[in-house]
A = this chain, B = another copy of it.
Amino acid sequence: MMINWNNMDTLTSIQELSKIKPVELAQVMAGENGAERVKKYTVPMAEGMAYNYAAKQVDDEVLSGLAKLAEEAQLVEKFEELYNGAVINTGEKRLVLHHLTRGQLGNAVVADGVDKRAFYTGVQEKVAAFARKVHAGEITNEAGEKFTTVVQIGIGGSDLGPRAIYLALENWAKKQGSFKMEAKFISNVDPDDAAAVLKSIDVAHSLFILVSKSGTTLETLTNESFVKDALKNAGLDASRHMVAVTSETSPLAKSDDYLAAFFMDDYIGGRYSSSSAVGGAVLSLAFGPEVFAQFLEGAAEEDKLAKNKDIFKNPAMLDALIGVYERNVLDYPSTAVLPYSQALSRFPAHLQQLDMESNGKCVNRFGERVNYQTGPVIFGEPGTNGQHSFYQLLHQGTAIVPLQFIGFRNNQIGMDVVIQDSTSQQKLCANVAAQIVAFACGKSDENRNKNFEGGRPSSIIIGDQLNARTMGALLAHFENKVMFQGFVWNVNSFDQEGVQLGKILAKKVLAHETDGALKEYSDLLNI
Protein backbone atom coordinates (compact mmCIF):
# COMPACT_ATOMS: atom_id res chain seq x y z
CA MET A 1 0.00 0.00 0.00
CA MET A 2 1.20 3.49 -0.87
CA ILE A 3 1.73 5.58 2.24
CA ASN A 4 0.59 9.19 2.15
CA TRP A 5 2.19 11.53 4.65
CA ASN A 6 -0.49 14.20 4.74
CA ASN A 7 -1.07 16.95 7.25
CA MET A 8 -3.98 16.30 9.60
CA ASP A 9 -5.97 19.28 8.38
CA THR A 10 -6.14 17.83 4.87
CA LEU A 11 -8.00 14.73 6.09
CA THR A 12 -11.74 14.62 5.55
CA SER A 13 -12.25 12.45 8.64
CA ILE A 14 -10.95 15.13 11.00
CA GLN A 15 -13.21 17.69 9.38
CA GLU A 16 -16.16 15.32 9.85
CA LEU A 17 -15.19 14.81 13.48
CA SER A 18 -15.27 18.56 14.09
CA LYS A 19 -18.87 18.66 12.93
CA ILE A 20 -20.12 16.09 15.44
CA LYS A 21 -21.78 17.63 18.48
CA PRO A 22 -19.49 16.94 21.47
CA VAL A 23 -20.76 14.36 23.92
CA GLU A 24 -22.28 15.68 27.15
CA LEU A 25 -20.26 13.52 29.48
CA ALA A 26 -22.21 14.24 32.67
CA GLN A 27 -25.37 13.18 30.88
CA VAL A 28 -24.16 9.99 29.19
CA MET A 29 -22.32 8.76 32.28
CA ALA A 30 -25.38 9.02 34.52
CA GLY A 31 -27.52 6.07 35.58
CA GLU A 32 -27.74 2.78 33.73
CA ASN A 33 -26.40 4.31 30.52
CA GLY A 34 -23.19 5.09 32.39
CA ALA A 35 -22.98 1.51 33.66
CA GLU A 36 -23.43 0.24 30.10
CA ARG A 37 -20.67 2.52 28.87
CA VAL A 38 -18.22 1.18 31.46
CA LYS A 39 -18.98 -2.37 30.32
CA LYS A 40 -18.85 -1.56 26.62
CA TYR A 41 -16.09 1.01 26.24
CA THR A 42 -13.15 -1.15 27.17
CA VAL A 43 -10.32 -2.67 25.14
CA PRO A 44 -8.10 -5.52 26.36
CA MET A 45 -4.40 -4.82 26.72
CA ALA A 46 -1.54 -7.26 27.18
CA GLU A 47 -0.92 -9.10 30.44
CA GLY A 48 -4.58 -9.03 31.47
CA MET A 49 -4.82 -5.27 31.59
CA ALA A 50 -7.58 -3.20 30.00
CA TYR A 51 -7.97 0.33 28.66
CA ASN A 52 -11.35 1.68 29.70
CA TYR A 53 -12.51 4.90 28.02
CA ALA A 54 -16.13 5.04 29.16
CA ALA A 55 -15.53 8.41 30.82
CA LYS A 56 -14.09 10.00 27.69
CA GLN A 57 -16.16 12.41 25.60
CA VAL A 58 -16.90 9.86 22.92
CA ASP A 59 -19.91 7.90 21.70
CA ASP A 60 -20.43 5.49 18.83
CA GLU A 61 -20.57 8.34 16.33
CA VAL A 62 -17.28 9.86 17.49
CA LEU A 63 -15.67 6.42 17.65
CA SER A 64 -16.76 5.71 14.11
CA GLY A 65 -15.18 9.02 13.09
CA LEU A 66 -11.98 8.08 14.89
CA ALA A 67 -11.93 4.72 13.08
CA LYS A 68 -12.16 6.62 9.78
CA LEU A 69 -9.34 8.89 10.89
CA ALA A 70 -7.18 5.87 11.71
CA GLU A 71 -7.84 4.48 8.28
CA GLU A 72 -7.42 7.72 6.37
CA ALA A 73 -4.21 8.57 8.22
CA GLN A 74 -3.02 4.99 7.58
CA LEU A 75 -1.88 4.60 11.15
CA VAL A 76 -1.36 0.86 11.15
CA GLU A 77 0.27 0.97 7.73
CA LYS A 78 2.68 3.63 8.93
CA PHE A 79 3.51 1.51 11.96
CA GLU A 80 4.14 -1.38 9.58
CA GLU A 81 6.54 0.80 7.58
CA LEU A 82 8.29 1.67 10.81
CA TYR A 83 8.80 -1.85 12.13
CA ASN A 84 9.80 -3.09 8.71
CA GLY A 85 12.69 -0.63 8.71
CA ALA A 86 11.65 2.45 6.72
CA VAL A 87 13.40 5.77 7.39
CA ILE A 88 10.63 7.09 9.62
CA ASN A 89 12.90 9.58 11.39
CA THR A 90 13.16 11.85 8.36
CA GLY A 91 14.97 14.69 10.14
CA GLU A 92 17.96 12.56 11.06
CA LYS A 93 17.38 10.08 8.19
CA ARG A 94 17.22 7.11 10.53
CA LEU A 95 15.23 3.95 11.01
CA VAL A 96 13.17 3.69 14.23
CA LEU A 97 13.75 0.29 15.75
CA HIS A 98 12.99 0.28 19.49
CA HIS A 99 10.28 -2.34 18.95
CA LEU A 100 12.94 -4.75 17.73
CA THR A 101 14.51 -4.84 21.19
CA ARG A 102 11.49 -6.82 22.37
CA GLY A 103 10.22 -8.69 19.33
CA GLN A 104 10.08 -9.06 15.59
CA LEU A 105 6.82 -7.58 14.38
CA GLY A 106 7.44 -7.88 10.65
CA ASN A 107 10.26 -8.48 8.21
CA ALA A 108 13.86 -8.88 9.20
CA VAL A 109 15.47 -5.46 9.33
CA VAL A 110 19.01 -5.28 8.07
CA ALA A 111 20.95 -2.07 8.55
CA ASP A 112 24.69 -1.40 8.39
CA GLY A 113 24.97 -4.98 7.13
CA VAL A 114 23.56 -6.42 10.35
CA ASP A 115 20.24 -8.08 11.24
CA LYS A 116 19.08 -5.60 13.85
CA ARG A 117 16.91 -7.99 15.86
CA ALA A 118 19.94 -10.26 16.21
CA PHE A 119 22.06 -7.26 17.17
CA TYR A 120 19.69 -6.21 19.98
CA THR A 121 19.22 -9.71 21.36
CA GLY A 122 22.98 -10.20 21.17
CA VAL A 123 23.50 -7.14 23.34
CA GLN A 124 20.83 -8.39 25.75
CA GLU A 125 22.68 -11.70 26.08
CA LYS A 126 25.94 -9.91 26.69
CA VAL A 127 24.32 -7.75 29.36
CA ALA A 128 22.66 -10.80 30.93
CA ALA A 129 25.94 -12.73 31.06
CA PHE A 130 27.69 -9.75 32.63
CA ALA A 131 24.93 -9.27 35.22
CA ARG A 132 24.99 -12.95 36.14
CA LYS A 133 28.75 -12.79 36.70
CA VAL A 134 28.35 -9.74 38.90
CA HIS A 135 25.60 -11.45 40.92
CA ALA A 136 27.65 -14.64 41.20
CA GLY A 137 30.71 -12.75 42.42
CA GLU A 138 32.71 -13.65 39.32
CA ILE A 139 33.10 -9.99 38.47
CA THR A 140 34.03 -8.14 41.65
CA ASN A 141 35.93 -5.14 42.88
CA GLU A 142 39.74 -5.32 43.26
CA ALA A 143 39.41 -6.75 46.76
CA GLY A 144 37.36 -9.63 45.33
CA GLU A 145 34.19 -8.41 47.01
CA LYS A 146 30.78 -8.36 45.41
CA PHE A 147 29.29 -5.19 44.03
CA THR A 148 26.18 -4.22 45.96
CA THR A 149 25.09 -1.03 44.20
CA VAL A 150 24.73 0.03 40.58
CA VAL A 151 24.73 3.70 39.62
CA GLN A 152 23.42 4.87 36.26
CA ILE A 153 25.08 8.03 34.93
CA GLY A 154 22.92 9.48 32.16
CA ILE A 155 20.45 12.25 31.42
CA GLY A 156 17.10 12.56 29.64
CA GLY A 157 16.16 9.22 28.11
CA SER A 158 19.15 7.57 29.74
CA ASP A 159 17.72 8.55 33.11
CA LEU A 160 13.95 9.08 33.21
CA GLY A 161 12.70 5.78 31.76
CA PRO A 162 15.17 3.47 33.53
CA ARG A 163 14.68 5.37 36.81
CA ALA A 164 10.88 5.22 36.57
CA ILE A 165 10.99 1.49 35.83
CA TYR A 166 13.48 0.79 38.61
CA LEU A 167 11.23 2.56 41.13
CA ALA A 168 8.19 0.78 39.69
CA LEU A 169 9.71 -2.65 40.25
CA GLU A 170 11.99 -2.21 43.26
CA ASN A 171 9.53 -3.27 45.96
CA TRP A 172 7.93 -5.93 43.79
CA ALA A 173 11.37 -7.47 43.12
CA LYS A 174 12.25 -7.37 46.82
CA LYS A 175 8.98 -9.09 47.68
CA GLN A 176 9.37 -11.85 45.10
CA GLY A 177 13.05 -12.42 45.91
CA SER A 178 14.62 -11.23 42.67
CA PHE A 179 16.18 -8.06 43.99
CA LYS A 180 19.93 -8.15 43.37
CA MET A 181 21.46 -4.70 43.73
CA GLU A 182 20.29 -1.27 44.74
CA ALA A 183 20.31 1.24 41.88
CA LYS A 184 21.02 4.97 42.05
CA PHE A 185 20.93 7.59 39.31
CA ILE A 186 23.11 10.62 38.58
CA SER A 187 21.80 12.91 35.87
CA ASN A 188 21.94 16.65 36.51
CA VAL A 189 25.04 18.73 35.74
CA ASP A 190 24.32 20.44 39.08
CA PRO A 191 27.35 19.23 41.06
CA ASP A 192 25.13 18.66 44.08
CA ASP A 193 23.41 15.79 42.27
CA ALA A 194 26.54 13.66 41.81
CA ALA A 195 27.96 14.74 45.17
CA ALA A 196 24.84 13.71 47.06
CA VAL A 197 24.61 10.31 45.36
CA LEU A 198 28.32 9.65 45.95
CA LYS A 199 27.93 10.52 49.63
CA SER A 200 25.00 8.11 49.92
CA ILE A 201 26.82 5.02 48.60
CA ASP A 202 29.81 2.84 49.35
CA VAL A 203 31.90 3.51 46.22
CA ALA A 204 34.15 0.52 46.84
CA HIS A 205 31.18 -1.78 46.23
CA SER A 206 29.53 0.26 43.48
CA LEU A 207 29.42 -0.35 39.77
CA PHE A 208 28.80 2.67 37.53
CA ILE A 209 27.08 2.58 34.15
CA LEU A 210 28.00 5.45 31.89
CA VAL A 211 25.21 5.91 29.35
CA SER A 212 25.85 8.14 26.34
CA LYS A 213 25.10 7.14 22.77
CA SER A 214 27.53 9.62 21.25
CA GLY A 215 29.98 9.51 24.12
CA THR A 216 29.91 13.32 24.06
CA THR A 217 26.95 14.35 26.28
CA LEU A 218 28.50 17.06 28.42
CA GLU A 219 26.42 16.44 31.56
CA THR A 220 27.22 12.74 31.49
CA LEU A 221 30.95 13.10 30.84
CA THR A 222 31.14 15.69 33.60
CA ASN A 223 29.43 13.37 36.03
CA GLU A 224 31.72 10.55 34.97
CA SER A 225 34.69 12.69 36.01
CA PHE A 226 32.98 13.33 39.31
CA VAL A 227 32.69 9.60 39.86
CA LYS A 228 36.24 8.87 38.72
CA ASP A 229 37.55 11.47 41.16
CA ALA A 230 35.60 9.82 43.97
CA LEU A 231 36.92 6.39 43.06
CA LYS A 232 40.49 7.70 42.85
CA ASN A 233 40.14 9.47 46.20
CA ALA A 234 39.04 6.16 47.69
CA GLY A 235 42.21 4.54 46.30
CA LEU A 236 40.29 2.52 43.72
CA ASP A 237 40.93 1.75 40.05
CA ALA A 238 38.04 3.44 38.24
CA SER A 239 38.22 1.08 35.27
CA ARG A 240 37.29 -1.80 37.57
CA HIS A 241 34.08 0.00 38.54
CA MET A 242 32.66 1.28 35.28
CA VAL A 243 30.83 -0.05 32.26
CA ALA A 244 29.65 1.92 29.25
CA VAL A 245 26.41 1.82 27.28
CA THR A 246 27.23 3.60 24.05
CA SER A 247 27.32 3.30 20.28
CA GLU A 248 29.97 1.20 18.57
CA THR A 249 31.46 4.28 16.97
CA SER A 250 31.71 6.38 20.14
CA PRO A 251 35.05 7.15 21.80
CA LEU A 252 33.88 5.10 24.82
CA ALA A 253 33.30 1.92 22.83
CA LYS A 254 36.82 0.51 22.83
CA SER A 255 38.24 2.33 25.82
CA ASP A 256 40.19 0.52 28.53
CA ASP A 257 38.43 2.75 31.02
CA TYR A 258 35.49 0.32 31.20
CA LEU A 259 35.02 -3.25 32.37
CA ALA A 260 32.64 -3.75 29.47
CA ALA A 261 30.78 -1.81 26.80
CA PHE A 262 27.21 -2.62 25.74
CA PHE A 263 26.13 -1.19 22.44
CA MET A 264 23.20 0.86 21.29
CA ASP A 265 22.74 2.43 17.87
CA ASP A 266 21.25 5.45 16.13
CA TYR A 267 17.94 3.73 15.48
CA ILE A 268 16.70 4.01 19.06
CA GLY A 269 16.14 7.51 20.44
CA GLY A 270 16.89 8.27 24.07
CA ARG A 271 13.24 8.44 25.17
CA TYR A 272 12.55 5.09 23.48
CA SER A 273 15.65 3.39 24.89
CA SER A 274 14.34 1.81 28.12
CA SER A 275 14.01 -1.57 26.41
CA SER A 276 17.52 -1.30 24.90
CA ALA A 277 20.78 -1.67 26.82
CA VAL A 278 20.12 1.79 28.30
CA GLY A 279 17.47 0.25 30.51
CA GLY A 280 18.72 -3.30 30.14
CA ALA A 281 22.05 -2.92 31.90
CA VAL A 282 20.83 -1.19 35.04
CA LEU A 283 17.62 -3.22 35.32
CA SER A 284 19.37 -6.56 34.69
CA LEU A 285 21.92 -5.71 37.34
CA ALA A 286 19.27 -4.53 39.80
CA PHE A 287 16.70 -7.30 39.33
CA GLY A 288 18.41 -10.01 37.28
CA PRO A 289 18.22 -10.63 33.52
CA GLU A 290 15.12 -12.83 33.92
CA VAL A 291 13.09 -9.91 35.25
CA PHE A 292 14.29 -7.70 32.42
CA ALA A 293 13.29 -10.45 29.97
CA GLN A 294 9.78 -10.49 31.49
CA PHE A 295 9.62 -6.73 31.05
CA LEU A 296 10.51 -7.13 27.36
CA GLU A 297 7.90 -9.87 26.96
CA GLY A 298 5.19 -7.62 28.38
CA ALA A 299 6.22 -4.87 25.97
CA ALA A 300 6.30 -7.31 23.03
CA GLU A 301 2.77 -8.51 23.80
CA GLU A 302 1.51 -4.94 23.86
CA ASP A 303 3.36 -4.09 20.63
CA LYS A 304 1.52 -6.90 18.84
CA LEU A 305 -1.82 -5.29 19.69
CA ALA A 306 -0.66 -2.10 17.99
CA LYS A 307 -0.73 -3.94 14.64
CA ASN A 308 -4.52 -4.36 14.72
CA LYS A 309 -6.40 -2.25 12.20
CA ASP A 310 -9.56 -2.45 14.32
CA ILE A 311 -9.43 0.45 16.80
CA PHE A 312 -11.32 -1.71 19.32
CA LYS A 313 -8.48 -4.22 19.36
CA ASN A 314 -5.68 -1.67 19.39
CA PRO A 315 -5.66 0.17 22.74
CA ALA A 316 -2.65 2.37 21.97
CA MET A 317 -4.20 3.55 18.71
CA LEU A 318 -7.58 4.20 20.32
CA ASP A 319 -5.95 6.07 23.19
CA ALA A 320 -3.98 8.11 20.63
CA LEU A 321 -7.07 8.95 18.59
CA ILE A 322 -9.07 10.04 21.60
CA GLY A 323 -6.10 12.24 22.57
CA VAL A 324 -6.09 13.84 19.12
CA TYR A 325 -9.84 14.42 19.37
CA GLU A 326 -9.31 16.13 22.73
CA ARG A 327 -6.38 18.19 21.48
CA ASN A 328 -7.66 19.29 18.08
CA VAL A 329 -11.45 19.11 18.16
CA LEU A 330 -12.21 19.80 21.82
CA ASP A 331 -9.12 22.08 22.09
CA TYR A 332 -7.78 20.91 25.47
CA PRO A 333 -4.12 21.98 25.79
CA SER A 334 -2.79 19.60 28.45
CA THR A 335 -3.23 16.07 29.79
CA ALA A 336 -2.58 14.71 33.28
CA VAL A 337 -1.26 11.19 33.93
CA LEU A 338 -2.43 9.96 37.32
CA PRO A 339 -1.19 6.53 38.45
CA TYR A 340 -2.83 5.20 41.61
CA SER A 341 0.40 3.48 42.55
CA GLN A 342 3.20 5.01 44.59
CA ALA A 343 5.65 2.79 42.70
CA LEU A 344 4.81 4.72 39.53
CA SER A 345 5.87 8.00 41.18
CA ARG A 346 8.30 8.88 38.37
CA PHE A 347 6.40 7.33 35.48
CA PRO A 348 4.63 10.64 34.70
CA ALA A 349 8.05 12.31 34.38
CA HIS A 350 9.07 9.66 31.86
CA LEU A 351 5.83 10.07 29.92
CA GLN A 352 6.32 13.83 30.02
CA GLN A 353 9.59 13.39 28.13
CA LEU A 354 8.25 10.66 25.86
CA ASP A 355 5.25 12.69 24.77
CA MET A 356 6.45 16.30 24.86
CA GLU A 357 9.84 15.59 23.26
CA SER A 358 8.28 13.40 20.57
CA ASN A 359 5.32 15.51 19.54
CA GLY A 360 6.18 19.01 20.77
CA LYS A 361 6.82 20.09 17.17
CA CYS A 362 5.40 22.86 15.00
CA VAL A 363 6.68 21.58 11.66
CA ASN A 364 5.67 18.44 9.82
CA ARG A 365 7.94 15.63 8.62
CA PHE A 366 8.92 17.80 5.67
CA GLY A 367 9.82 20.84 7.74
CA GLU A 368 6.64 22.77 6.90
CA ARG A 369 4.78 24.72 9.59
CA VAL A 370 1.53 22.99 10.54
CA ASN A 371 -1.69 24.91 11.11
CA TYR A 372 -3.00 22.90 14.03
CA GLN A 373 -2.01 22.08 17.58
CA THR A 374 0.33 19.12 18.15
CA GLY A 375 1.50 17.50 21.44
CA PRO A 376 -0.10 18.66 24.69
CA VAL A 377 1.61 19.54 27.97
CA ILE A 378 1.86 16.33 30.04
CA PHE A 379 2.11 16.33 33.83
CA GLY A 380 1.10 14.16 36.75
CA GLU A 381 1.67 12.79 40.21
CA PRO A 382 0.47 9.61 41.92
CA GLY A 383 -2.99 9.41 43.46
CA THR A 384 -4.21 9.66 46.12
CA ASN A 385 -1.52 12.32 46.71
CA GLY A 386 -2.67 14.48 43.81
CA GLN A 387 -6.22 14.50 45.18
CA HIS A 388 -4.94 16.58 48.09
CA SER A 389 -3.12 18.91 45.72
CA PHE A 390 -3.80 19.98 42.14
CA TYR A 391 -7.09 18.05 41.68
CA GLN A 392 -8.89 21.19 42.89
CA LEU A 393 -8.14 22.81 39.53
CA LEU A 394 -8.97 19.62 37.66
CA HIS A 395 -12.42 19.54 39.30
CA GLN A 396 -13.33 23.21 39.48
CA GLY A 397 -10.85 25.17 37.38
CA THR A 398 -11.94 27.22 34.38
CA ALA A 399 -10.08 24.98 31.90
CA ILE A 400 -10.69 21.29 31.25
CA VAL A 401 -7.71 18.91 31.57
CA PRO A 402 -8.20 15.39 30.17
CA LEU A 403 -7.01 12.70 32.57
CA GLN A 404 -5.31 9.35 32.17
CA PHE A 405 -5.67 7.17 35.27
CA ILE A 406 -3.75 3.95 35.94
CA GLY A 407 -4.78 1.54 38.71
CA PHE A 408 -4.03 -1.96 39.98
CA ARG A 409 -6.24 -4.30 41.99
CA ASN A 410 -3.35 -5.52 44.14
CA ASN A 411 -0.38 -3.90 45.81
CA GLN A 412 3.23 -5.04 45.49
CA ILE A 413 4.53 -5.55 49.01
CA GLY A 414 1.54 -7.35 50.52
CA MET A 415 1.47 -5.41 53.79
CA ASP A 416 -1.88 -3.83 54.52
CA VAL A 417 -4.14 -2.74 57.37
CA VAL A 418 -7.89 -2.68 57.85
CA ILE A 419 -9.22 0.68 59.04
CA GLN A 420 -12.93 1.50 59.04
CA ASP A 421 -13.68 -1.91 57.49
CA SER A 422 -11.46 -1.60 54.41
CA THR A 423 -7.82 -2.16 53.50
CA SER A 424 -5.58 0.60 52.21
CA GLN A 425 -5.60 -1.10 48.83
CA GLN A 426 -9.39 -0.97 48.78
CA LYS A 427 -9.29 2.69 49.76
CA LEU A 428 -6.82 3.38 46.98
CA CYS A 429 -9.00 1.65 44.39
CA ALA A 430 -12.18 3.21 45.77
CA ASN A 431 -10.63 6.61 45.32
CA VAL A 432 -9.72 6.16 41.68
CA ALA A 433 -13.18 4.78 40.88
CA ALA A 434 -14.75 7.69 42.73
CA GLN A 435 -12.60 10.27 40.95
CA ILE A 436 -13.53 9.06 37.47
CA VAL A 437 -17.22 9.42 38.25
CA ALA A 438 -16.79 12.70 40.10
CA PHE A 439 -14.93 14.22 37.15
CA ALA A 440 -17.40 12.92 34.61
CA CYS A 441 -20.72 13.46 36.36
CA GLY A 442 -20.06 16.26 38.82
CA LYS A 443 -22.73 17.15 41.35
CA SER A 444 -25.08 20.08 41.53
CA ASP A 445 -25.11 22.18 44.67
CA GLU A 446 -26.99 25.36 45.40
CA ASN A 447 -23.77 26.71 46.86
CA ARG A 448 -21.89 27.29 43.60
CA ASN A 449 -18.62 26.98 45.49
CA LYS A 450 -19.55 23.36 46.19
CA ASN A 451 -20.96 22.81 42.72
CA PHE A 452 -19.21 20.42 40.33
CA GLU A 453 -20.02 20.89 36.66
CA GLY A 454 -18.58 17.52 35.67
CA GLY A 455 -17.91 16.90 31.99
CA ARG A 456 -14.22 16.33 32.68
CA PRO A 457 -13.03 13.36 30.66
CA SER A 458 -10.78 10.54 31.87
CA SER A 459 -9.70 7.05 30.92
CA ILE A 460 -8.22 4.33 33.09
CA ILE A 461 -5.81 1.48 32.50
CA ILE A 462 -6.57 -1.28 35.01
CA GLY A 463 -4.30 -4.22 35.79
CA ASP A 464 -3.99 -6.87 38.47
CA GLN A 465 -0.58 -5.83 39.73
CA LEU A 466 2.35 -3.69 38.71
CA ASN A 467 5.13 -6.14 37.88
CA ALA A 468 7.82 -6.56 35.21
CA ARG A 469 5.37 -7.77 32.57
CA THR A 470 2.67 -5.17 33.15
CA MET A 471 5.34 -2.46 33.39
CA GLY A 472 6.65 -3.51 29.97
CA ALA A 473 3.13 -3.45 28.55
CA LEU A 474 2.43 -0.01 30.03
CA LEU A 475 5.64 1.40 28.60
CA ALA A 476 4.92 0.00 25.14
CA HIS A 477 1.33 1.26 25.28
CA PHE A 478 2.43 4.84 25.78
CA GLU A 479 5.31 4.62 23.29
CA ASN A 480 2.88 3.40 20.66
CA LYS A 481 0.24 5.94 21.62
CA VAL A 482 2.72 8.77 21.11
CA MET A 483 3.87 7.24 17.81
CA PHE A 484 0.30 7.02 16.46
CA GLN A 485 -0.40 10.61 17.48
CA GLY A 486 2.76 11.72 15.67
CA PHE A 487 1.47 9.93 12.57
CA VAL A 488 -1.86 11.77 12.77
CA TRP A 489 -0.15 15.13 13.25
CA ASN A 490 2.32 14.23 10.49
CA VAL A 491 5.29 15.22 12.64
CA ASN A 492 8.56 13.39 13.09
CA SER A 493 8.23 12.01 16.62
CA PHE A 494 11.79 10.72 16.67
CA ASP A 495 14.10 13.72 16.52
CA GLN A 496 14.56 16.60 18.99
CA GLU A 497 16.10 19.60 17.28
CA GLY A 498 14.51 21.85 19.91
CA VAL A 499 17.18 20.95 22.43
CA GLN A 500 20.09 22.11 20.24
CA LEU A 501 19.98 25.90 20.45
CA GLY A 502 20.32 25.98 24.23
CA LYS A 503 23.36 23.70 24.02
CA ILE A 504 25.05 25.96 21.47
CA LEU A 505 24.39 29.10 23.52
CA ALA A 506 25.58 27.44 26.74
CA LYS A 507 28.90 26.66 25.04
CA LYS A 508 29.19 30.31 24.04
CA VAL A 509 28.61 31.36 27.63
CA LEU A 510 31.29 29.00 28.91
CA ALA A 511 33.70 30.29 26.25
CA HIS A 512 32.79 33.89 27.24
CA GLU A 513 31.78 34.55 23.64
CA THR A 514 28.62 36.42 24.47
CA ASP A 515 27.12 39.83 24.01
CA GLY A 516 23.78 41.53 24.59
CA ALA A 517 21.28 39.91 26.94
CA LEU A 518 23.23 36.68 27.12
CA LYS A 519 26.29 38.49 28.46
CA GLU A 520 24.17 40.27 31.07
CA TYR A 521 22.58 37.05 32.29
CA SER A 522 26.02 35.41 32.38
CA ASP A 523 27.28 38.27 34.53
CA LEU A 524 24.27 38.05 36.85
CA LEU A 525 25.03 34.37 37.36
CA ASN A 526 28.76 35.02 37.90
CA ILE A 527 29.89 32.75 35.07
Contact B54 A517 (CB under 8 A): yes
**Whole-angstrom CA separation of A411 from B187 in the bound complex:** 16
Q: 8 Å CB contacts to B: which residues of A398-450?
A: 398-399, 401, 407, 409, 411-413, 415-417, 419-438, 440-443, 447-450
A-B contacts besides A221-B419, A356-B394, A370-B398, 4 pairs, CB < 8 Å: A357-B389, A377-B399, A395-B498, A449-B492
Q: Which residue of B lies closest to A227 (CB)?
A: B417
Instruction: Provide the residues of chain B in CB contact with A527, threshold 8 Å.
Output: 426, 429-430, 433
A238 to chain B, nearest CB (A): 13
**Whole-angstrom CA separation of A253 from B449 in the bound complex:** 30
Contact A367 B516 (CB under 8 A): no
Looking at A412, A423, A509, the one whose CB has the most chain B CB atoms below 10 A away is A509
A32 to chain B, nearest CB (A): 6
Q: Which residue of B lies closest to A37 (CB)?
A: B517
Q: Which residue of B lies closest to A442 (CB)?
A: B501
Supply 15 A–B pairs (Cβ within 8 Å), ascending by A: A35-B520, A156-B385, A188-B385, A190-B340, A193-B342, A195-B411, A218-B420, A221-B419, A377-B377, A391-B498, A430-B506, A434-B503, A434-B509, A440-B517, A443-B501
Contact A382 B517 (CB under 8 A): no
Instruction: Provide the residues of chain B in CB contact with A353, threshold 8 Å.
Output: 388-390
Residue in contact with A397 in the complex, picked from B37, B187, B361, CB distance below 8 Å: B361
Contact B517 A388 (CB under 8 A): no
Q: Which residue of B lies closest to A348 (CB)?
A: B379
Contact B390 A357 (CB under 8 A): yes
Q: 8 Å CB contacts to B: which residues of A318-353?
A: 333-334, 340-343, 349, 352-353
Q: 8 Å CB contacts to B: which residues of A162-207?
A: 170-171, 174, 187-196, 198-199
Instruction: Provide the residues of chain B in CB contact with A492, threshold 8 Å.
Output: 449
The 6 A-B pairs of least Cβ separation, nearest first, read A360-B393, A156-B388, A34-B517, A434-B505, A38-B520, A395-B498
Contact B342 A450 (CB under 8 A): no
Instruction: Provide the residues of chain B in CB contact with A198, threshold 8 Å.
Output: 415
Instruction: Provide the residues of chain B in CB contact with A525, threshold 8 Å.
Output: 407, 409, 429-430, 432-433, 462
